[in-house]
A and B are shown apart, each in its own frame.
Chain A
């Protein structure tokens, strides 16, 4: 290779390098600008989003436990539950303790049925200190629209007495544990024909939640606020 040619090659290589560096710098600049835009929006909306999430949570709790039933600050009187396989929960969740004049009234907590027709059905449950299920609501589900989604009272065509309200006020004293099933499985509770799987999943999850609350009630109410409940007795 003659000398001028070598210089030419070097120059071309350096120009390729320069173009690559320039393009990479532009890509980097775009990434920085738009990441900053997302971060800025996140920061600016964070307090509003947190307030909406809290209001949403209170609304959900209000659906299973009327605000007049207790007089303590639910958000302050909450504990963290470690994952509870008995409730179908894989993550940490919160449990709220309602009291009136310091006397335990009810436990409000999440539960899940993993055996819905289309996967997980999320529930929020209120269990009274007398061991009765006060109310239960579906929070998330993917059941078939128009068929299995009657488990959510918003989608239930029976507006006067939605399916999921049949559990209200019942405990194992009224419906024995082995009868806490849908009628098709020999139990006490109605299901809609053609969509038994959704009803069975919710009914069984309600029964499990009730049994879990009965087993741990004393300790759940006794834990200090913001405490953590592991599930097994700590040695």
Chain B
């Protein structure tokens, strides 16, 4: 059980694909112009990561070490193609919204990174779990990034949701005459917001580490011969 807890904690925070590993920035920056797009890409990414981790964990005994990377890429590309075709055939309305993002998932190196670092060495259930958690870690960061960029850039949230749920519509948060802040929507804005998010994570981590150190100092008095720093 604690192993699954570790996998979840690593995916969501400690080894978060974006905030800690800085992987998969290309689709992240391209698609996070608003919340709905960001979450859409994120959900498709979770699906592909779970499938690819599952497939490679299942086949790992058959894959020679020397050619593992080409085989991984082959499997990931094939799975993405199958997901793309299946979406187009069976969930066509969703495909019209998500369709352009699905091929982008191949460019997300976090998929290959998790396959190589985890699925090739671990069992089926743990690998699928790792795909899910790394995917969820990707989704919450890209969703936050999309929400901030949409809010600052256009003053709305959930714009475009009517393309997925025709009965809903986006929320105008700032007054309609809000002129918009174009930089937030253009690529440089993505870098600014991402930089702030990473700084925020580092700050939280540094604070947590400092607390741990202070606790230790309280619990055990420093050795007598130690010099004040």
To the question of whether A and B form a pair in one complex, the answer is: yes
Which residues of A approach B to under 8 Å, CB–CB? 22-23, 26-27, 30-31, 34-35, 37-38, 41-42, 44-45, 48-49, 52, 55-56, 144-147, 154-155, 157
Pairwise interchain contact B90-A144, C-beta atoms closer than 8 A: no
Pairwise interchain contact A145-B185, C-beta atoms closer than 8 A: yes
Query: How close is A100's CB to chain B, nearest CB, in angstroms?
Result: 30
The answer, yes or no, to whether B24 is at the interface (CB within 8 Å) is: no
Tell me the bound Cα distance from A49 to B153 in angstroms: 36
Taking CB as reference atom, which chain A residue is nearest B90?
A48
Tell me the bound Cα distance from A34 to B162 in angstroms: 36
Taking CB as reference atom, which chain A residue is nearest B88?
A49
Tell me the bound Cα distance from A228 to B85 in angstroms: 31
| 6 nearest CB pairs, A to B | A45-B89, A48-B89, A34-B78, A146-B154, A52-B92, A45-B85
Contacts of A56 in B (CB 8 A): 92, 96
Contacts of B182 in A (CB 8 A): 144, 146-147
- Which residue of B63, B89, B92, B185 contacts A146 across the interface (Cβ within 8 Å)? B185
Taking CB as reference atom, which chain A residue is nearest B55?
A34
Contacts of A23 in B (CB 8 A): 64, 66-67
Pairwise interchain contact B154-A41, C-beta atoms closer than 8 A: no
| Number of A-B contacts defined by CB within 8 Å | 71
Contacts of A34 in B (CB 8 A): 74-75, 78
The answer, yes or no, to whether B186 is at the interface (CB within 8 Å) is: yes
Query: How close is A32's CB to chain B, nearest CB, in angstroms?
Result: 11
The answer, yes or no, to whether B47 is at the interface (CB within 8 Å) is: no
Query: How close is B24's CB to chain A, nearest CB, in angstroms?
Result: 21
Pairwise interchain contact B176-A157, C-beta atoms closer than 8 A: yes
Pairwise interchain contact B92-A37, C-beta atoms closer than 8 A: no
Pairwise interchain contact B78-A37, C-beta atoms closer than 8 A: yes
Query: How close is B98's CB to chain A, nearest CB, in angstroms?
Result: 14
Pairwise interchain contact B88-A45, C-beta atoms closer than 8 A: yes
The answer, yes or no, to whether B86 is at the interface (CB within 8 Å) is: yes
Pairwise interchain contact B71-A30, C-beta atoms closer than 8 A: yes
Pairwise interchain contact A27-B71, C-beta atoms closer than 8 A: yes
Taking CB as reference atom, which chain A residue is nearest B155?
A146
Contacts of B88 in A (CB 8 A): 45, 48-49, 52
- Which residue of B67, B95, B154, B160 contacts A27 across the interface (Cβ within 8 Å)? B67
- Which residue of B62, B85, B176 contacts A42 across the interface (Cβ within 8 Å)? B85
A selection of 12 A-B contacts at a CB cut-off of 8 Å is A22-B64, A26-B62, A27-B71, A31-B74, A34-B75, A38-B81, A49-B85, A52-B88, A145-B33, A146-B180, A146-B185, A154-B162
The answer, yes or no, to whether B163 is at the interface (CB within 8 Å) is: yes
Pairwise interchain contact A145-B82, C-beta atoms closer than 8 A: no
Tell me the bound Cα distance from A157 to B153 in angstroms: 15
Contacts of B53 in A (CB 8 A): none
Tell me the bound Cα distance from A41 to B82 in angstroms: 6
Contacts of A41 in B (CB 8 A): 81-82, 85-86
Tell me the bound Cα distance from A157 to B180 in angstroms: 13
Contacts of A26 in B (CB 8 A): 62-64, 67
Query: How close is A26's CB to chain B, nearest CB, in angstroms?
Result: 6
- Which residue of B78, B85, B90, B185 contacts A147 across the interface (Cβ within 8 Å)? B185
